[in-house]
């Protein structure tokens, strides 16, 4: 396989100007409750898909804005969220990213999360560490939940979870230093990887939301599990709890 990290970086960076196309961002389709898609989502996905197919035409493609029923995870696959944080994009709340991961041999091997508004490129290669704009990053050193900054995910596509979610948010808030809500799981995982956040959790996420971000956190020395402490299945939708590895158990206890 000829894919290099430089190829992923170049591909997502070249797609990023589409984020600033306010006309496309204003063309909104409703997929479900609080679940929107814009022409930016479609345009970024089509651009990235075409570039990746030119690099390696045999690699499968899983994207948020397509039918992914035929993906065979015994073979390599790209996992893309063209705009993670579409609601943020619609409101010009500048916290949306492109998230791209390469799945191969039963694991995520490469991951990129690009924040075009700040020109921050988070990258990781399995066994090779995690980086922000080429500089190594590490998770935070917070040892106690009481001093931690935790980001919460409200699972807006699953309003039936609201009561249970907010009960959990309250318990975590009582025990931690403070909480945040950014609205982009991939970005929140990247921020956990570089130590801006000490942890992040959300229910009902999809592989394209977290595939690259999980690799970032793990390569930066952190830990990602489900809410019971089990390993995350990258190929399936599920719940995510990311931390610096020191406070994950304390967050689970609060949940």
pLDDT at 143: 98
Do the first three CATH levels of 5-136 and 145-254 match, i.e. the same topology?
no
**Is the CB of residue 65 less than 8 Å from the CB of residue 45?**
yes
User: What pLDDT does 35 receive?
Assistant: 46
Binding residues for Mg(2+): 64, 81, 84, 209
Residues with Cβ within 8 Å of residue 205, at least 6 apart in sequence: 153, 185, 237, 238, 239, 240
Is residue 32 over pLDDT 70? no
Residue ranges covered by each domain of the chain: 5-136, 145-254
Per-residue pLDDT of 65-76, as tens digits, reads 766 668 899 999
For residue 40, what pLDDT is reported? 85
Asked if 113 contacts 211 with a C-beta cutoff of 8 angstroms, the reply is no
Q: Residues 243-255: what's their mean pLDDT? A: 97
Q: What is the pLDDT of residues 118-177, one digit of tens each?
A: 999 999 999 999 999 999 999 999 999 999 999 999 988 788 889 999 999 999 999 999
For tokens 């690699």, what's the residue?
A: 59
Q: Determine the Cα–Cα distance for residues 43 and 24; give it in Å rounded to an integer.
A: 9
Average pLDDT over residues 239-243: 98
Among 107, 142, 132, smallest CA distance to 214 is for 107
Q: How far apart are CA 204 and CA 163, in angstroms?
A: 15
- Averaged pLDDT, 5-14: 96
CB 78 within 8 A of CB 95: no
Cβ pair 90, 105 in contact under 8 A: no
The correct answer on CATH 1.20.120.530 for the domain covering 5-136 is no
Residues annotated within the binding site are: 64, 81, 84, 209
CB atoms within 10 A of CB 92: 10
Q: Say how far apart CA 81 and CA 30 lie, in whole Å.
A: 17
The topology (CATH level 3) of 145-254 is: D-Maltodextrin-Binding Protein; domain 2 (3.40.190)
Angle between the N-to-C axes of helices 5-15 and 39-55, in degrees from 0 to 180, rounded to the nearest 10: 150
pLDDT tier for residue 213 given thresholds of 50, 70 and 90: very high
Would you give the distance in Å from CA 216 to the centre of its chain?
A: 9
pLDDT of residue 34: 45
Over the stretch 94-119, which tens digit does the pLDDT of each residue have?
999 999 999 999 999 999 999 999 99
What per-residue confidence (pLDDT) applies to 155? 86
Distance, CA of 128 to CA of 253 (rounded, Å) = 32
Those residues with Cβ within 8 angstroms of residue 243's Cβ, 6 or more apart along the chain or in another chain:
139, 192, 198, 199, 200, 222, 223, 224, 251
């Amino acid at each position: 396989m000829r894919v290099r990290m430089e190829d992923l970086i170049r591909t997502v960076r070249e797609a990023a100007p589409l984020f600033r196309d306010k006309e496309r961002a204003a063309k909104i389709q409703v997929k479900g409750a609080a679940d929107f898609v814009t022409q930016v989502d479609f345009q970024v996905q089509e651009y990235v898909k075409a570039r990746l197919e030119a690099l390696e035409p045999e690699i499968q493609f899983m994207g948020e804005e397509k039918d992914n029923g035929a993906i065979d995870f015994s073979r390599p696959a790209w996992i893309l969220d063209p705009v993670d944080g579409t609601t943020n994009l619609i409101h010009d709340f500048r916290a949306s990213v492109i998230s791209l991961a390469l799945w191969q041999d039963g694991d995520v091997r490469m991951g990129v999360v690009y924040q075009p508004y700040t020109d921050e490129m988070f990258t990781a290669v399995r066994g090779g560490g995690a980086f922000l704009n080429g500089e190594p990053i590490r998770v935070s050193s917070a040892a106690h939940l009481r001093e931690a900054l935790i980001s919460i995910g409200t699972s807006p596509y699953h309003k039936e979870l609201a009561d249970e979610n907010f009960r959990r948010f309250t318990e975590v808030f009582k025990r931690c230093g403070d909480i945040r809500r950014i609205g982009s799981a991939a970005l929140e995982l990247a921020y956990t990887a570089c130590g801006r956040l000490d942890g992040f959790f959300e229910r009902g996420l999809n592989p394209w939301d977290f595939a690259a971000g999980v690799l970032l956190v793990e390569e930066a020395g952190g830990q990602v599990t489900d809410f019971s402490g089990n390993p995350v299945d990258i190929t399936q939708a599920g719940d995510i709890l990311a931390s610096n590895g020191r406070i994950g158990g304390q967050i689970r206890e609060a949940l």
